[in-house]
């Protein structure tokens, strides 16, 4: 396809596609899907080889958030039966992080529910960052605490944080439809504060909330302008008890097209497959590794993910390798603050404490027998509510984490 050849050429040159070209990727047919994946895979391999960066989430404070983000199981008024607990102590958080690092993760993402941190909260997280860094040489730490006030990003940087995550989630024109307690501009401001403080900015999106192709392209182009180093792509987990519980709009093919579009628009940044990959990509997860160079290992904020061992086996079986702490994730021209302006515009370059990170349970019901398998097959083209499992292990519990 001429479109794909053009997009590959632009991706290798770090040149911005047109909006029409990005929309055309989302409009490709299932018959052309493997061609789309192969083309975007060329761009991914050019900048990142066959390396896959593993990230591990630690939910420092779960539930009881005053914000009303419609997608979130931790939102104000949520009836989702999730774990609820206040701040983990630094030693508890460090112990939780150790499980993911032992599984091969090189970045720990420290997430807390809420509108934004108080200065005391920043002190807590700073102590946690120091504890993790002291015990794990070479580990990256990303904080995700909501909207930042003046000076807080600098304090996190001084404590040793490497990155800050705050997602845009959706297009500016539709943002008010999913959240009313803060604005799209508030989110942009926090990403810019992280940038200005010398933190690696991480900002992404959530697909599957009923948005149009135009909305998806809008938010990805907005991310490109913000120039984060990593872009997490979340696929909505429709939690029962949230306003978007009935929004089952994604297929594995749709998810792959979205990831390909993000890769073409953001060719040389860390594109991360985040919440919802097991629920919506399902058996096509390995194909997504040809598009994204980063994933979360194990469980998410309020949902269970597939077994960490299964993640590692999937990466190896697909012919990829886990990126070690001795490797720099980003291309050389992006290290140390991004690439800035170049021909065709700026390059965009992860994950928010909103609590959308969710995934499938790796467990099966042994007592269900063959009848359950038949039911799963019948449900393949419809909502897979059977794949949404609330996290009951790891941080905030006495059970071992999944990593």
Residues identified as active-site: 65, 69, 72, 109, 142, 202, 272
Q: Rounded distance, CA 9 to CA 330, Å? A: 20
Strand partners of residue 56: 108
Label residue 324 left, alpha or beta by phi (over 0 means left) and psi (-120 to 50 means alpha): beta
From residue 393, alpha-carbon distances to 149, 299, 301, 389 in Å are: 32, 9, 11, 11
Label residue 84 left, alpha or beta by phi (over 0 means left) and psi (-120 to 50 means alpha): beta
Q: Rounded distance, CA 239 to CA 72, Å? A: 8
Q: Rounded distance, CA 33 to CA 126, Å? A: 45
From residue 339, alpha-carbon distances to 16, 44, 394 in Å are: 14, 17, 38
Rounded to the nearest 10 degrees, how much is the dihedral formed by the CA atoms of 121, 117, 277, 104? -30
Q: Rounded distance, CA 61 to CA 317, Å? A: 35
Rounded to the nearest 10 degrees, how much is the dihedral formed by the CA atoms of 255, 7, 218, 345? 140
Is the alpha carbon torsion for 372, 296, 52, 17 positive or negative? Answer: positive
For the packed helices 33-48 and 2-13, what is the interaxial angle rounded to 10 degrees?
Answer: 10
Strand partners of residue 231: 271
Cα of 304 vs its chain's centroid, Å: 15
């Amino acid at each position: 396809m001429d479109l794909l050849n053009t997009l590959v050429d632009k991706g290798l040159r770090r040149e911005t596609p047109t909006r029409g070209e990005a929309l055309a990727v989302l409009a490709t047919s299932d018959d052309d899907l493997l061609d789309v994946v192969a083309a975007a895979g060329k761009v991914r391999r050019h900048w990142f080889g066959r390396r896959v960066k593993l990230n591990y989430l630690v939910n420092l404070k779960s539930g009881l958030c005053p914000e009303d983000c419609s997608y979130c199981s931790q939102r104000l008024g949520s009836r989702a039966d999730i774990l609820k607990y206040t701040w983990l102590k630094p030693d508890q958080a460090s112990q939780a992080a150790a499980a993911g690092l032992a599984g091969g993760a090189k970045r720990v993402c420290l997430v807390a529910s809420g509108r934004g941190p108080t200065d005391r909260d920043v002190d807590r997280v700073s102590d946690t960052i120091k504890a993790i860094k002291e015990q794990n040489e070479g580990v990256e730490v990303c904080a995700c605490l909501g909207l930042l006030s003046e000076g807080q990003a600098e304090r996190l940087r001084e404590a040793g944080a490497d990155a800050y995550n705050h997602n845009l989630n959706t297009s500016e024109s539709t943002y008010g439809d999913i959240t009313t307690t803060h604005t799209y501009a508030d989110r942009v401001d926090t990403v810019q504060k992280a940038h200005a403080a010398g933190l690696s900015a991480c900002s992404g999106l959530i697909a599957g909330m009923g948005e149009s192709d135009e909305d998806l392209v809008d938010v990805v182009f907005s991310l490109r302008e913000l120039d984060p180093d990593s872009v997490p792509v979340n696929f909505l987990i429709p939690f029962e008890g949230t306003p978007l519980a009935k929004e089952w709009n994604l297929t594995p093919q749709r998810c792959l097209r979205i990831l390909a579009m993000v890769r073409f628009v953001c060719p040389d940044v860390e594109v991360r497959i985040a919440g919802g990959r097991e629920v919506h990509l399902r058996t096509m997860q390995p194909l997504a590794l040809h598009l994204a160079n980063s994933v979360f290992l194990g469980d998410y904020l309020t949902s269970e993910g597939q077994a960490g061992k299964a993640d590692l086996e999937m990466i190896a079986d697909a012919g990829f390798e886990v990126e070690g702490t001795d490797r720099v994730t980003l291309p050389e021209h992006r290290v140390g603050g991004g690439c800035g302006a170049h021909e065709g515009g700026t390059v965009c370059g992860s994950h928010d404490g909103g609590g959308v990170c969710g995934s499938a349970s790796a467990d099966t019901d042994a007592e269900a027998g063959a009848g359950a398998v038949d039911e799963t097959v019948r449900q393949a083209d419809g909502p897979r509510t059977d794949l949404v499992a609330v996290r009951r292990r790891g941080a905030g519990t006495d059970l071992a984490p999944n990593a």
